[in-house]
Structure 1
Amino acid sequence: MSARLGIVIVGSEILLGKREDCHFARTRSQALARGYEIGWSLLVADRWDDLLAQYRWAFAQDCPFFSFGGLGATPDDLTRAAAAAARDLPLQQHPEAAALIRQRFGAGAEPIRIRMADLPAGARIIPNPVNQVPGFQLHNGYFFPGFPQMAEPMSDWVLERDFPRRTPAKQLRVVLLGEKESDWVEFMECFCATHPQIEFSSLPSFRAEGTQIEIGLRGEATALGAAWSALATELSTRGTRWQELEIPPELQNSSSE
């Protein structure tokens, strides 16, 4: 399974400022705790064309994704139909989902609530411990309600079932003091070419005491050690002043400020 996870958040009310999203931060925290990273995130309005296009894109990616919102029974709840159309599948009543909804609501399930049992053909349900109206899994997509109090235990269940814990990538961050990015670009280009397994980032900032660059490196421990050794050598050769922000303990003695 991919070490990355995508997120789709559905809701015009978020884009219009009527609600604030909490799914991204929570899902990122859940994923990182299990050794997965967020590869991408989309915030999409409740519009058919937008949802259809973005779900087609999400289904085509090489990583799983979590989608939040749009699973209700009102006219603006388009997620179930859009997900089905994105996979060229029909919507059909899922027997287990229908049974759960009828068990929960009795006579009140008909004629409206039962619509939430209409799922893409072949979907697997995701149990909802709050009100028993399930979410569903389709291909590499996992679909949850927009209500955080429902989505959180449901996504916890999915992560425990389908996402075995991984050893997270190691991260290293240092700040180069009094340095300008333009003086380091050629080295950065060579460094990235030499260490392709390392995720590299450069974040300049401007402070009263002068310019500085935050350098970030992420990767597997052995590759990170080799990359840090190369960077530390360059820092020493240039006589660059730098400060540690985050260095894995096993690498802290491999160089000194």
Structure 2
Amino acid sequence: MNTTSSTTCPPIGLIIIGDEILSGKRQDGHFAKVRELLAARGLGLSWVRYLGDDRALCEAALRESFATDHIVFSCGGIGATPDDHTRQSAAAALGVLLELHPEAERLIAERTREWYAKDPAAAGSPDMSTPENQQRLNMGKFPAGANIIPNPYNKIPGFNVGQHWFVPGFPVMAWPMIEWVLDTHYKHFHNQVQLGEKSFLVFGVPESRATPLMEAIEAEFAGIKVFSLPSVGNDKRARHIELGVKGPVDALPAAYARLLEGTQAICASLGGEIDEAPKRA
């Protein structure tokens, strides 16, 4: 399995696949939950992408992400019905064929036997040679060379290629599988650096006037990001900008002081300070 051993965590991305999400038939919970799982380990998302059940679009998106060193979690579309395209798209993006993974085959057969044992009156048979069960085995056909991700809910595995981790769309399966990946393969990235954030409100200054200062601070302080969150205001507070810095807590005080000093030089009206509790990354 090709997981990174570097001490610096690569960017982490999330792909969420499913027409039902885009149509609003189901509400996405993956974004918030994955963000929560990462934050609990001092990690964060660099990007997220939503895709419908379109094989060409999924292939193009995966080809793009496979070309990076990013850690990528993909939720949805790994079943074996006509609207599931993730397995095929991943194989096409990698330029390989789909192959029935031996361990996936064993797990699917085991799960099938258990299902029929619990409900002997159910139509069908646990015989894996039947057309119905051969169709089930398609869920174990992954891009050649892939590894499996254990599924604690029903044993039907996900799969992994390099830094990409493909799990089902069902939260009850996907979330524990992602948690397992984080704790099994990326524990060395957990809680590496303590991060913080400090900001203040600025009134009567357009973002364009503050931009040169923001660029100068990012160039001067390694690891620091300067952010600007404009607001059109309301009946309680006038139009303003929340201007701040975030990054390693050791570098934060000096960067914040520089931002405050530079802003005071271009604006006489500052609002209250906003201080976010430190976290680790």
Q: TM > 0.5 between the two?
A: yes
The answer to whether residue 250 in structure 2 is matched with residue 225 in structure 1 is no
Alpha-carbon contact 1:36-1:168 (below 8 Å) kept? no
- The letter for the 1-side match of 2:220 is T
Paired with 1:141 and 1:35, the residues of 2 have a C-alpha distance of 20
Q: Which residue number in structure 2 is paired with residue 245 of structure 1?
A: 274
Aligned letter for 2:149? I
Correspondence for 1:89: 96
- Give the letter for the 1:57 counterpart: E
Deviates more, 1:184-193 or 1:60-69: 184-193
Structure 1 alignment gaps of length 5 or more? 250-257
1:115 matched to 2:144: no
Alignment CA distance shift 1:45-1:236 (3 Å): closer
Aligned equivalents of 1:190, 1:156: Cα separation in 2: 38
Question: What code does the residue aligned with 1:66 have?
Answer: F
Displacement, 1:120?
1.1
Distance 1:149 1:46 in 2: 21
TM-score, normalised by the number of residues in structure 1: 0.89
CA contact (8 A) 1:3 1:37 kept: no
1:21 aligns with 2:50: no
CA–CA separation in structure 2 for the residues paired with 1:127 and 1:101:
12
Q: TM (normalized to structure 2)? A: 0.82
What SS does structure 2 have at the residue aligned with 1:38? coil
Indicate the residue corresponding to 2:221 in structure 1: 195
Question: Which residue in the other structure is 1:48 paired with?
Answer: 55
**Whole-angstrom distance in 2 between the partners of 1:231 and 1:177:** 15
1:1-16 aligned within 5 A: 1=6, 2-16=9-23
Q: Give SS of 2:239's match.
A: strand
**One-letter code aligned to 1:112:** Q
- 1:56-95 aligned within 5 A: 56-95=63-102
State the percentage of identical aligned residues.
Answer: 39
Give the secondary-structure state (helix, strand or coil) at the position aligned to 1:61: coil
CA shift at 1:186, angstroms?
3.3
SS in 2 for 1:210: coil
User: Contact 2:210 / 2:263 at 8 angstroms: preserved in 1?
Assistant: no
The residue number in structure 1 matching 2:111 is: 104
**CA offsets, 1:165-221, max 9 Å, x none?**
123422222222444334423333333333353111111213244221101311112
- Mapped to 1, the partners of 2:214 and 2:183 lie a distance apart of 39
Output the CA distance in 2 between the equivalents of 1:4 and 1:172: 23
Structure 2: distance between partners of 1:163 and 1:97: 23
- Residue in structure 2 matched with residue 255 of structure 1 by the alignment: none
Moved more, 106-115 or 91-100: 106-115
Structure 2 residue runs of 5 or longer lacking an equivalent are 1-5, 114-125
Question: Structure 1 residues 168, 70: closer, same or farther in 2, change over 3 A?
Answer: farther
Q: Which one is further off, 82-91 or 236-245?
A: 236-245
- What's 2:42 paired with? 35
